[in-house]
């Protein structure tokens, strides 16, 4: 929560925050602290099981939140309804912590540039990317 996210982003913007089941509570606190209003959750259902104490994890969640009123940035008058994006992303795991391409496609379709990915694993066209795997420290 100590990351100064609210200093890095525009007054009118979207935030997509990834979290695991065990950290959902913390993720909502981060949104509030950074000044974002929660909108909805998309869940990545992985095709293989992970580890877990009570249950074996097979999902990750990405919380969509906004600051200001960025709805006008949606491409098309009906937003997701026009593009058919769902709250479920079905995709296999790839590399550790790497998110599915379907997520990036959705985020790009529903939001405007500029885009920032913090803790990125690779550079992406149309995104500013920060992450230790890119040699860029926060």
**Residue 91 falls within a domain, yes or no?**
yes
Q: What phi, psi does 118 have (nearest 5°)?
A: -95, 140
Sign of CA dihedral 23, 83, 80, 10: positive
Average the pLDDT over each of 46-55, 75-84, 92-101, 113-122 and give the range with the smallest value: 75-84
Q: Which domain holds residue 71?
A: 10-134
The set of residues, in sequence order, having a beta carbon less than 8 Å from that of 63 and lying 6+ positions away, is: 15, 16, 17, 19, 27, 28, 31, 38, 40, 41
**Residue 1 falls within a domain, yes or no?**
no
Tell me the pLDDT of the chain averaged across its residues: 85
Preceding omega of 60 cis (within 30 degrees of 0): no
For residue 7, is pLDDT > 80? Answer: yes
* CATH number (domain holding residue 123): 3.40.50.150
**Residue 2 falls within a domain, yes or no?**
no
- Higher pLDDT: 52 or 104? It is 104
**Residue 3 falls within a domain, yes or no?**
no
For residue 119, is pLDDT > 60? Answer: yes
**Rounded CA gap, 82 and 11, in Å?**
26
**Residue 5 falls within a domain, yes or no?**
no
* Count of domains forming the chain: 1
**Residue 44 falls within a domain, yes or no?**
yes
**Residue 16 falls within a domain, yes or no?**
yes
DSSP output for 62-74: EEEEEES-GGGGS
Band the pLDDT of 117: cuts 50, 70, 90: confident
**Residue 88 falls within a domain, yes or no?**
yes
For residue 25, is pLDDT > 60? Answer: yes
Band the pLDDT of 134: cuts 50, 70, 90: confident
* 114-126 burial code (b ≥16 CB/10 A, e <16): ebbbeebbeeeee
């Amino acid at each position: 929560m100590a990351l100064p996210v609210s200093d890095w982003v525009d007054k009118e913007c979207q935030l997509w925050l990834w979290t695991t089941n065990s950290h959902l509570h913390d993720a909502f606190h981060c949104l509030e602290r950074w000044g974002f209003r929660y909108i909805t959750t998309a869940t990545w259902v992985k095709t293989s099981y992970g580890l877990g104490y009570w249950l074996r994890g097979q999902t990750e969640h990405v919380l969509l939140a906004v600051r200001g009123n960025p709805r006008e940035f949606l491409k098309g008058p009906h937003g997701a309804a026009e593009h058919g994006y769902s709250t479920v992303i079905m995709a296999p795991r790839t590399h550790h912590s790497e998110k599915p391409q379907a997520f990036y496609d959705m985020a790009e379709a529903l939001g405007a540039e500029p885009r920032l990915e913090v803790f990125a694993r690779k550079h992406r066209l149309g995104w500013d990317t920060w992450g230790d795997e890119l040699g860029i420290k926060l």
